[in-house]
Chain A
Amino acid sequence: MSVDPRMEPTSRVWDSPPVTPAYRGRRALALAAMLVAVAIALPRFLTHTPYQRLGISLDWKEGQDFPRVEKVIGPPATGLLERGDVLVAMNGVRFHGFSDTRQRIRKEGWPRAPVVMDVLRGNRELQVSIPPVQLGAWQRVRLFTFPVVAMIAAPLVAFLLVWRRPDLNAAWVFLWFAALQGVGTVWDTFRFTQFEPAGGFKAYLDAYNALLNFYPASFVHFMMVFPRPRWTKGRRRRSPWFWMVVAAYLVAAGLGVWMIAGAHPAGQDSSSPYLWFQSVALPIGALALMIRYLRRARDAWNPTLAERLLAIAVALVLLATTAVDALFQDPGMAALYTLPVVRLLVATLTLAWLCAPMVIALLIANDPVFDPRRLLVRSIPYALLSGVLAALYLGIVVVSQRVFAAATGEEAVVFNVVAALVVAFAFSPLRVRTQRALDRLYGRDPAALRRALDRAGQELLGALDRAEVRASVEHGLTSGLKRPVAVEWPDGELPRLARGEEIPEDAASAVANLLMQAGIRLENLALQEQRAAAERRAAELREAATRAELRALHAQVQPHFLFNALNALSYLTETDPPAAQRFTERLADMLRYTVQASQRPDARLSEEIAFVEDYLGVARERYESALQFEYHGARDLLAVRVPPLLLQPLVENSLKHGCAPGLDALHLSLVAEASDGWLTLVFKDDGAATPGRKPGLGVGLTNLEQRVQRFAGPEASVSARPVDGGGFAVTLRWRAALGEAA
C-alpha cells in the first residue's frame, strides 16, 4: 500500500541534509569535474596567446592602406613598437588594406622565426625584427586579468554551491554550464596559436572545440532549471521545456560528431553552424530567464525587484551579445568595428557578458533553495582575516626593511621574525574583532538576539499547544538570528537544533535555554492533556455503564415477544384451551421474574435457568421447531450469584439467529465451570450458521459485557464465536467468590 504523501514531513529549503557517504561521493565528483575542466583548458591556456602574433591592436583610418598601432598590448611588441607607428610591410611585403593585413598577420603569425616589420614612426622609417611570442603563464594571466577572473569565478561559485547542496540538480547544471563557459572563455581568449598544431595536439583541439558545442545546450538546460526546474517533479516528459533541453543536447552532440568526423572543409567554416545553434539557443535560454523573472510572485516564488532587474539585465545582455556575434560575422558589419562608438559598445557588452555568470551566481545565492549564506558567513571571516594578516606582515617587513636599509644601508632578516611574531600575537584578537564586525554587518546583534529570545520565552508561557510552542520558538530564533533556523521536535524529547545547524557561539547558550523552556512547556502541556483525557475517559465509562444498565432494564423482554405471545395465546384459547392455560402460566412466571429482576441486585443461577425454561416454553408455542435446553455443571454452582436476566439476551439472540425456516430443532446448552476463583459460563446453540453471526461482540453482547463488568469488576469478560458445524457460543467469565456461593 502506498504511503499517504501528506504524512511525510515537509522538508524546508534550509533544512540541511546530513552529510552522508552519497554526499561525499557527489562532492568528490564535483571536485573531479573541476579538475577535468582545468585539465581541458590548461594546454590551450599555455600554448595559445591572447592576441595575435605581434602583441598590438591596430587602428584603421578611412582610406588608409596601412594600419596604425593603436595600443601595445604585450610581448613581443613591448619595447619594439610604439603607439602611433604605422605598419607598412611585413617580411618585405607591403600591406594592402584592412582585410589583407588581418589575414596576413593571422596566417604569418605562426613561424617561430622573427618577422621583420617595416614601420613608419613619425617621419622615420624603421625596420624592426619582432621575435616569436614567448609568454609565461603569469604574463598570460596578468595581461587578461579580468577574463581570467571571470572564467574562474563562476565555476568556483558553482562548485561551492554543489559542495553545499550536492542533492540539488540545479547546482550541478550550474556547475556544468559555468565550467563550459569557463573553458569556452579560455578557448576564446587564448585563441592565437604559437605554432601549427599537429597529431595528438590537433586532436585535442578538435575535441575541445567539439565540447564547446555543448555550451549553448548547457545554457538552455541551466535556464530551464534555474532557479527551479520549469517542470514538476516526475512529470517532466509533459513539459515542452524539457524536450527543448533534450533537443539542444542532441543538436550539440550532432554538431560535435560532424566537426570531429571532419565533414567541414576548413577549420573556420565549421563555426558557422555552431553560430547558428548559439544564435538560437542563447535567446531561448535568455527568454526563459526573462519569462521566469517577469512572473508574478507566488508562494514559493518571490524575488525582489532588484533580483528581477538583474535577471532581466542578464537576459538582455545575453540577447545583445548573441545578436552582435551574429552580426559581426558579416564582413560589412565587421568594418563598423573600426568606429570608436561601436568598439566601446562591443567592449562594454563583452564585459557585461563575462559578468553574467557572476550575476546569475548572485541570484542563486539569494535564492533560499541554495542558502549559500552560511557558506559565505563561514568563509568570509577567514578570508578577511588572512587579508588583514598578510597586509600586516608585508607592511611590517617591507616598511621596516626599507627604513632599516635607508638608515644603515644593510638588510636584516630579523624583521621577518618580528613580523611573524606580531602576526602570531595579533591573530586571536583580530579574529574576534573580525568576527564581531561581521556579526554586526549581518545583523547578528547580541542585544537584539537576547530581546527576541526573551520575547519568545514569554510567548512560550502562554502557548496552548504544540503548534503554538513551535511557532513562538521558531519566530524568536528567526527574528533573533535574522535567518530561519531548523529545529527538530522529536516526540517526547526536548526540541533540539537540526543537524548541521550552527549558532554563533555567543548565542548558543541562550538558544539552548529557549529550547529547554520549550521542552518543559511541551511536557506540561502533555501532562495536562493526559489528565484531561483520563478524566474524559472516566466520565465516558460512568456514562456507558449507566446507559448499559438503563438499556438492560428497558429492553428485558422485547415487546415483540410479548405481543406475538399474546397472539399465539389468542389462537390457543380457541383451539386448545389446556395448552392455552399452560402457556399463560409460563408467560406469567416469565413476566414475574422479569419485573422482579429490575429491582434486585443479583439472582441465583438456578433462577436464571428456570427463567430460560419458561421463556423457551412460551417460544415453543410460537415456533415449529423443537426447542431444548440443558444445563451441564456442578450442582453447587446452581446457587452461584449472577446478574439478573443474564441469560435472557442470549436466549433471545439464539432464537433470533438460530431459528431459520426449515430447521426443525434448536438445542441450547449452558455449561458452568469454576476453577482458580474464576466462574466460566458457556452458552451455546446449534442453530444455523447465518452470515450475520460473526465472531466478536454485537451491540447486544457489548451491553451484556458492560453489565457483567459492573456486576463483577473490570476483569470480567464476554466473548462470542461461531461453533464449527453451525451454531454459536458465548463465553462469560468473571472472578467469583465461589466458597460463599456453594
Chain B
Amino acid sequence: MSEATKVRALIADDEPRARQFLEKLLSEHEDVEVVGVARGGAEALELIPRLKPDVAFLDIHMPDLSGLEVARHLRGDGAPIVVFVTAYDKYAVEAFEVAALDYVLKPIRRERLADTLERVLAEARGGRPAGRAKAIEAALDSPGLRDQLPPLKRLPVRHRREVRLLDLEQVPLLFSRDRLVLARAEGKEYLVDYTLQELEQRLPDGQFVRVHRGALVNLDAIESYGGEDGVLVLRLKDGTRVEASERRAAEVRRKLR
C-alpha cells in the first residue's frame, strides 16, 4: 500500500449521533476514508466482508451483537484492524490494556483518536503483526470480560466465507464433531466459533440445555421426551433423536419440567 492510498475505515455503532461524530472526526484526517457505516453488530458482520475495510471502529455496546462478538469473527487475511469504541466498559478496557489492543473512549477526544490512527496507519501500511487475532482472542477470553458480555441474542455462524447470524429459535441443536462445534439450522450444519462450554455460558439462560458432553439442545425445539431402557431420550421437532447422558439426565428433566 503506497503513501497516497487512503486507509479505508468502517464504523459500527447503534447510536446515530455517535456514528456521525466519529465520521466527522475521521473525515478530518486526510489519510482516512470512511467507506461504510453499520447500525449494529449484525450489519457490521454483513458489510465487512463486502467492503473489506482496513480498519473497523466497533462500538462494544450494541444491542443486537456486541462489538466484541463481531471482532471474534473477523479472521483471515482480509480481516480489518479492529479499534474498539466504548463509553463505559471497565473490564473491556482492562482486557484491551493487557492485550495491547486499540480502543477509544467516549466522549471521543481528537488527540487520542489521532494517536490511535497513527498506529493503525503504520500497521495498515507496513504489514500487520500476526499477533492481532490472537490478542483479540486472549482479551475476549479474559475472565473479567467474559462474565460481562451480554447473552447472545443471535448466534453468529460461519457460512462459506461469510458470517451469518442465526435467530436462536432457528437452532434446535448445537453439537461437537471432530473437535468442531456445529449448529444445526434449517437442516444444514454451520460452523460455530465458540466452544460448547462458552455457548453454555453465553446463550440466554434456560433456553439451551447441555444433554451430554457434546451437545446443547434448544428447549423450544424439543417435541417429546421419554425414558428408553433407563436412558432419557429427547426427540426434536426436526426428527433428531438425542440421548441425554446419565450424569446430566436429572438436570435435563428439571429444565424440561
Contact residues in B for A624 (Cβ distance below 8 Å): 16
Bound CA–CA A253/B78 (angstroms): 83
Are B15 and A661 in contact, CB atoms less than 8 angstroms apart? no
From known contacts A1-B225, A559-B87, A691-B169, infer whether A564 and B15 are also in contact, taking CB-CB under 8 Å. yes
Q: Is B39 an interface residue (CB 8 A)?
A: yes
Chain A, range 613-630, C-beta contacts under 8 Å to B: 621-624
Bound CA–CA A1/B15 (angstroms): 50
Contact residues in A for B24 (Cβ distance below 8 Å): 571, 574-575
Contact bitstring B149-184, A, C-beta under 8 A = 1, else 0: 001010000000000000111000000000000000
Are A622 and B17 in contact, CB atoms less than 8 angstroms apart? yes
Are A563 and B107 in contact, CB atoms less than 8 angstroms apart? yes
Are A691 and B167 in contact, CB atoms less than 8 angstroms apart? yes
Contact bitstring A597-638, B, C-beta under 8 A = 1, else 0: 000000000000000000000000111100000000000000
Are B87 and A570 in contact, CB atoms less than 8 angstroms apart? no
Q: Is B53 an interface residue (CB 8 A)?
A: no
The listed residue with most B CB atoms (<10 A of its CB), out of A560, A659, A661, A662, is A661
Q: Is B33 an interface residue (CB 8 A)?
A: no
Are A560 and B153 in contact, CB atoms less than 8 angstroms apart? no
* Distance of A712 from chain B, by nearest CB (Å): 29
9 additional contacts (CB under 8 A) given A567-B107, A571-B24, A691-B168:
A5-B230, A560-B61, A563-B105, A567-B87, A622-B17, A622-B18, A623-B15, A623-B16, A659-B63
Bound CA–CA A660/B153 (angstroms): 13
Contact residues in A for B189 (Cβ distance below 8 Å): none
Q: Is B241 an interface residue (CB 8 A)?
A: no
Quick one: which of B18, B63, B153 contacts A567, CB cutoff 8 A?
B18
Q: Is A296 an interface residue (CB 8 A)?
A: no
Q: Is A316 an interface residue (CB 8 A)?
A: no
Contact residues in A for B169 (Cβ distance below 8 Å): 691
Are B153 and A570 in contact, CB atoms less than 8 angstroms apart? no
Per CB-CB distance, the 9 closest pairs between chain A and chain B, nearest first, are A2-B227, A563-B87, A571-B21, A567-B106, A570-B107, A568-B17, A559-B88, A567-B107, A624-B16
Which residue of chain A has its CB nearest to the CB of B257? A1
- Please count the residue pairs between chain A and chain B whose beta carbons lie under 8 angstroms apart in the complex: 81
Quick one: which of B21, B40, B87, B226 contacts A1, CB cutoff 8 A?
B226
Q: Is B43 an interface residue (CB 8 A)?
A: yes
Chain B, range 1-37, C-beta contacts under 8 Å to A: 14-18, 20-21, 24
Contact bitstring A547-570, B, C-beta under 8 A = 1, else 0: 000000000001110111011111
Contact bitstring B243-255, A, C-beta under 8 A = 1, else 0: 0000000000100
Quick one: which of B14, B87, B153, B225 contacts A690, CB cutoff 8 A?
B153
Bound CA–CA A162/B17 (angstroms): 90
Contact bitstring A654-691, B, C-beta under 8 A = 1, else 0: 00110111100000000000000000000000000011
Q: Is B108 an interface residue (CB 8 A)?
A: yes
* Distance of A412 from chain B, by nearest CB (Å): 79
Contact residues in A for B64 (Cβ distance below 8 Å): 660-661
Which residue of chain A has its CB nearest to the CB of B169? A691
Q: Is B204 an interface residue (CB 8 A)?
A: yes
Contact residues in A for B18 (Cβ distance below 8 Å): 564, 567-568, 571, 622
Bound CA–CA A542/B59 (angstroms): 40
Q: Is A692 an interface residue (CB 8 A)?
A: yes
Q: Is A33 an interface residue (CB 8 A)?
A: no
Bound CA–CA A547/B17 (angstroms): 36
Chain B, range 199-230, C-beta contacts under 8 Å to A: 204, 225-227, 230
Contact residues in A for B61 (Cβ distance below 8 Å): 560, 564
Contact residues in B for A621 (Cβ distance below 8 Å): 17
11 chain-A/chain-B pairs, Cβ below 8 angstroms: A2-B227, A558-B88, A560-B87, A564-B87, A566-B106, A567-B18, A567-B108, A572-B17, A623-B15, A623-B16, A691-B169
